Chain A
Amino acid sequence: MTAAWKPFLARYGTALAALVLFVFFAATARNFLAAGNLLGIAKHISHIAILGIGFSIALIVAELDLSFANVCSLAAVTTGVLIHGGHGTWLAVSAGLAVGLGFGLVNGLVVTVLKVPSLIATLAVAAIANGLAFFVTDGVSVVGRWPVGFTALGRGDLFAIPALVWWMVAVAGVAVLFLKQTRNGFRLVCTGENVEAARLAGLPVRRLKVLGLLLSGGAAGVAAVLLTASLSSAAANMAGDFLLTAIAAVMLGMTMFEPGHANIPGTLVGALTIGMLGNGLVLLGAPYYVQDICLGFIIIGSVAVSASVLTRAAFDV
């Protein structure tokens, strides 16, 4: 391999591998290329991608948010209970978003004011959110025939493309625009790159860390509302399975485009790759547990490539 290829492969190698996987499934799995199947994959991974984008933003400020799945569940049951109780769509949606943002703010304050490492702080907040979700629902799922104005958020189509896919693209687009084109987004990146340099350059690094974790919580709130709307139901542990999958998507994303660093396009491609892998394996008749095994290997392989960034996020106060 010539030296000129190395940077290209470092940036796009994983994406190319995903492309090879796509071609493999296209050639071997029946119906894989059907438009309905491909849109189904995109729809299926939309929640994971949105949660992953939030997790990525926390990582960009060099913090870990391990609470997002439980916060998402709590926000979902909050939204579901309100809708089920006959309250308006706006109130239910606002409450779900507020829960996400509120818990993101709590994460940020615990990390920056109480100086608890984010690895521990967000695990503790996850436990609190989990407990509250069971308290709100009494452990019983909320299911019903809910107003179309609400369920359309997660079930509608636009130009034959599912609403969930549009939401995922919109959240990713806003996140990229924010991080690459705005002052506050740039400052989040600076804070994560070198917190001491950022502080000495006069940036309010504590507030920026709070903002990063707040946005991660906000993404969990958005995912919760869409999840509740698309399923017309809410349960206390409904987003629990997304924790590992979303983290795997982010880890995989960190091996491409900006190697070693969380980035939104990488997270999106990472989520699509994981979705495609799961779908292709199902179509090929592989047992369900093979997906879990693959997910484990993806995380280990990706983290081996991006270890330094994760170590900093996990163990720096």
Chain B
Amino acid sequence: MALVGPLLELRGIGKSYGPVTALEGVDFDIGRREVIGICGDNGAGKSTLIRILSGAEQPSGGEIRVNSEAISFRSPADALARGIATTYQDLALAPRLSIAQNVFMGGELLRGPKFLGMLDHRRMRDEAALYLDRFGFADIDMGRPVSDLSGGQRQAVALARALRWKARIVIMDEPTAALGVAESRQVLELIRRLRSEGVTVIVVSHDMDDLVAVTTRVVILKKGRKVGEIETARVTSGRLGEMIMSGVVA
């Protein structure tokens, strides 16, 4: 396995739905421990790109490489097995289930003979607490239903599930949408913590301030094409907004 070079490479990724082209020839690389932003106006192709990277959809053309190895995902389970986890805008959580149950959904811990498939509830609660502790939420009861949690806490649960899958790449779709100021700050801090733990993060957001605050680089899409990318240290949120509108990156 190559450890030099980009962690994730996209080459000529395209996606068509019948006559409609949602993505066309999108190329970019993502390095290890990088926090990269993907932005663009409505219809730019951000959601389609996420769905392709998360295995929810297959591209019509192009190639995805992880550690220089060409891969194709037929389902979200394939992407998870490759260490790519996605947290969605609606967080894809089951509100009535507990924090621990949400963290371990699809990766349950078992006790006793494996063929019986008996759940190890205690170990799942204990380990979920360890994951949440990494995001500064150590004092929450892991048996609490997710519906009782704040938006920031729910993001932490979604991220804990991603870490549970030992994800090397976490894709976050609109992580601060519908959150208050304090909760948004909490989520940006979660992203920084992920990076400090060696996880590569892809943030898709409409919020330019958030992208400038937390990412190292931003890829700009317009009408299904990549129009450019820019290091966030060189740009303000206002300028980034102008680039999205004009489609000119300079």
Contacts and interface: CB of A to CB of B under 8 A. Distances in A.
B248 interface: no
B119 A186 contact: yes
Contacts of B96: 193, 261
Contacts of A199: 76
A305 to B, nearest CB: 16
Contact of B86 (A186, A190, A200): A200
Given A189-B97, A197-B94, A203 B106 contact: yes
Interface stretch (B17-25, B33-41, B110-118): B110-118
Given A194-B92, A261-B96, A202 B117 contact: no
Contacts of A261: 96
B56 A194 contact: no
Interface residues of A, number: 19
A209 to B, nearest CB: 16
Contacts of A183: 108, 110, 117-119
Contacts, number: 62
A169 B119 CA distance: 22
Interface string A176-189: 00000111101101
A202 B76 contact: yes
B92 A197 contact: yes
B54 A200 contact: yes
B101 interface: yes
Interface residues of B, number: 25
B117 A203 contact: no
B13 interface: no
B75 interface: yes
B105 A203 contact: yes
- By DSSP majority rule, is chain A's interface helix, strand, loop, or mixed? helix
Contacts of A196: 92
Interface string A186-214: 11011001101111111100000000000
A17 B116 CA distance: 38
A197 B117 contact: no
Interface string A272-294: 00000000000000000000000
A193 B94 contact: yes
Contacts of A198: 94, 105-106
Contacts of B95: 193-194
Contact of B94 (A181, A184, A190, A202): A190
A304 B95 CA distance: 21
A261 B117 CA distance: 24
Contacts of A200: 54, 56, 76, 86, 88, 92
B94 A194 contact: yes
Nearest to A197: B92
B97 A190 contact: yes
B76 A197 contact: no
Contacts of A181: 118-119
Contacts of B110: 183
Contacts of A186: 101, 108, 119
Interface string B83-125: 0001010001111110001000111101000001111000000
Given A197-B94, A201-B107, A202-B106, 5 more contacts: A197-B105, A198-B105, A198-B106, A200-B56, A201-B106
In the complex, the 3 A-B pairs of residues with the closest C-beta atoms, listed nearest first: A202-B77, A201-B106, A193-B94
